[in-house]
Amino acid sequence: MTAQILDGKACSKALLAEVKIRASACIERGFTPCLAVVLVGEDPASRVYVRSKTRRAKRCGIATQDHHLPATTTTEELLALVHQLNTDTEVDGILVQLPLPAGVDTDAVLLAIDPQKDVDGFHPQNLGRLVIGRPRFVPCTPQGCMRLLALHPEPIAGKRALVVGRSTIVGKPVAQLLLQANATVTMAHSRTRDLPAEVANADIIIAAVGRPNFILGEWVKPGAVVIDVGINRLPDGTLTGDVEFAGAAAKAAAITPVPGGVGPMTIACLLDNCVLAARRRAGLEVGE
């Protein structure tokens, strides 16, 4: 079997083109969508992500406000900035780049973001809305996974989906989205007893573990669809996913590559959420 490659680069390019059109419609009406990006500290990966997000935003016609704070920033100082951005009428979306330095209370910061500007979708209110099937902003990486799944012609309804990893930013929300798409969802984590058996039983596999080549190709059921969220840097500097790509691609019906799969979708979905926030604020889009 030759697996269909679910191409995140092409899919994100198409989405970014749509985002640009929606952003220019806003600009024509006299308001420019604006994303405030908050980076605390000097984490090299976070710096790369933030640079990439602001560059892409600008290319789509979205204005950005960059707030780079030192690693010594206290929770109170960060909360003060978030409150300021909440009330800034220029700002449509607020992105606080995670992880925050160890001394900062991440939960308090995420809770402080105005849910209407929470374009990452991590505010407890927005996660709760996702669970009841009335999402305000669908978290970006899970949304990207679903958009990539939609490139495969087989319907999701009725399929057995396995989500490996239960983080709040990837595993749990993507499981909710699969459930809403009427898959029968299983979640695996570090205490799962027989992961190979769970993988072998799954029609759809979402891997979000953070361990290189952790899910072996030989476990994958023939004809399964594999979405690899993992981004792992190997000692030689190359990037690889959580799934052993060659082995899995030989058995799967469709698979995402790493890099070039879920990664580019995350940024595109973030910018889509930002323009959505701007359009809602301007009354161009229904929704709360």
Written as six digits, the tokens of 199 are 């993988």
Q: Which is nearer to ligand NDP, 267 or 276 (CB)?
A: 267
Q: Which of 92, 117, 118, 120 is catalytic?
A: 120
Which residue ranges make up the site for ligand NDP (CB under 6 A)? Answer: 141, 164-167, 169-171, 188-192, 195, 208-210, 229-232, 262-263, 266
Residue 46 Cβ vs ligand NDP, minimum distance, rounded to whole Å? 12
For the chain, the straight-line distance linking the first and the last C-alpha, in angstroms and rounded, comes to 45
Q: Closest approach of Cβ 185 to ligand NDP, in Å?
A: 15
Q: How far is CA 250 from CA 3, 9, 209, 226, 257, in A?
A: 7, 22, 22, 12, 13
283/135 Cα distance (integer angstroms)? 18
Supply the minimum distance, in Å, between the C-beta of residue 141 and ligand NDP: 4
Task: Give the residue with the Cβ less far from ligand NDP, 180 or 232.
Answer: 232
Give the position of tokens 């697996």.
Answer: 3
Q: Whole-number minimum distance, CB 265 to ligand NDP, in Å?
A: 7
Select the residue whose beta carbon is closest to ligand NDP and give its number: 167
Of 113 and 267, which has the nearer Cβ to ligand NDP?
A: 267
What angle do helix axes 124-131 and 171-180 make, rounded to 10 degrees?
Answer: 30
State yes or no: is 97 an active-site residue.
yes
Give the sign of the dihedral formed by CA 145, CA 150, CA 151, CA 156: positive
Nearest to 207 by CA among 159, 167, 234, 267: 167
Residue 204: phi, psi to the nearest 5?
Answer: -130, 130
Neighbours of 14 (CB within 10 A): 12
- Measured distance CA(209)–CA(131) in Å, rounded: 22
Of the two residues 32 and 192, which places its CB atom closer to ligand NDP in the complex? 192
- Residue 4 annotated as catalytic: no
Q: How far is the CB of 269 from ligand NDP (least distance, A)?
A: 9
User: Nearer to ligand NDP by C-beta: 1 or 150?
Assistant: 150
**Residue 230, both tokens:** 């993992």
Distance CA 79, CA 205 (A): 38
Catalytic residues: 53, 97, 120
